[in-house]
Chain A
Amino acid sequence: MPSSFTTWFDRAASFVAASITIALFVVVMLGIISRAFNDPFIWTDELARFLMAWLAVFGWILACRKRIHVRIRYFQDKLPKGGHRVAEIIIQSALFVLGALVAWYSVALTERNLDIEATTLSMSIAWLYIPMILAGLVTAGQALSQIVEQCRGGGNDSRGAEELAR
Chain B
Amino acid sequence: MSGLMYEIAAVWLLAILAGVPLYATMALAALAFVGFGGLSMSVVPQKMAQAMNSFPIVAAPLFILMGNLLTSARITDRIVAFATSLVGTVRGGYAHASVISSMIFAGMVGSAVADAAGTGAVEIRAMKKIGYRAETAACITAAASTIGPIIPPSLPMVIFGVTANVSVGRLFMAGFVPGVMMGLSLMVMVAVIAKRQGFPREKFVGFLGIWRSFRDGFWALMAPVVLLGGMFSGMFTPTEAAAVASAYALFLGLVVYRTLDVKDIPGLLIETAETTGIVVVLVMAAAALGWCMSISRIPQILAPQLVAVIAHPLGFLLLCNILLLAVGCFMEPLAALLILIPILVPVSNSFGIDPVQFGVIMIFNLILGTIHPPIGVVLFITSRIAEISFETMSKAILPWLVPLLVVLALITVFPSLTLWLPNLLMGQ
Question: Could you list which residues of chain A lie within 8 angstroms of chain B, going by C-beta atoms?
Answer: 14, 17-18, 20-22, 24-25, 28-29, 31-32, 36, 45, 48-50, 52-53, 55-64, 66, 68-76, 87, 90-91, 94-95, 97-98, 101-102, 105-106, 108-109, 112, 128-129, 131-132, 136, 162-166
Contacts and interface: CB of A to CB of B under 8 A. Distances in A.
A24 B62 contact: yes
Interface residues of B, number: 66
Contact of A49 (B28, B52, B117): B52
Nearest to B22: A70
Contact of B244 (A32, A101, A129): A32
B19 interface: yes
B68 to A, nearest CB: 10
Interface in B50-83: 50, 52-55, 57-58, 61-62, 65
Given A24-B61, A63-B281, A75-B18, A105 B42 contact: yes
A101 B42 CA distance: 9
Interface stretch (B143-151, B235-243, B289-297): B235-243
Contacts of A162: 21
Interface in B369-405: 374-375, 377, 380-381, 384, 390
A62 B240 contact: no
6 contacts: A32-B243, A52-B54, A62-B270, A72-B16, A91-B20, A165-B278
A46 B279 CA distance: 21
Given A28-B240, A28-B243, A69-B24, 14 more contacts: A28-B62, A29-B243, A52-B58, A55-B273, A56-B280, A69-B22, A70-B23, A71-B21, A72-B16, A94-B28, A101-B31, A102-B45, A109-B49, A128-B49
Given A49-B53, A49-B58, A132-B49, A102 B27 contact: yes
A80 to B, nearest CB: 15
A90 B14 CA distance: 13
A159 B282 CA distance: 19
Given A87-B19, A108-B42, A97 B28 contact: yes
B62 A72 contact: no
Q: DSSP majority for the B interface?
A: helix
Contacts, number: 204
B28 to A, nearest CB: 5
A58 B46 contact: no
A36 to B, nearest CB: 7
Contacts of A22: 269
B24 A21 contact: no
Nearest to A163: B380
Contacts of A129: 45-46, 49
B240 A63 contact: no
B45 A105 contact: yes
A153 to B, nearest CB: 19
Contacts of B16: 72
A28 B240 CA distance: 7
B277 A56 contact: yes
B247 interface: yes
B4 interface: no
Nearest to A16: B273
Contact of A59 (B53, B240, B274, B332): B274
Closest 9 CB pairs of A and B: A59-B277, A17-B273, A18-B269, A165-B377, A76-B19, A28-B243, A53-B52, A63-B277, A69-B21
B94 interface: no
A107 B52 CA distance: 18
Greatest chain A CB density within 10 A among B20, B113, B374 is at B20
Contact of B113 (A25, A68, A166): A166
Nearest to B55: A45
Task: Count chain A CB atoms within 10 A of each CB in B23, B113, B332 and give the residue with the most.
Answer: B23
B41 to A, nearest CB: 5
Contacts of B61: 21, 24, 52, 55, 59
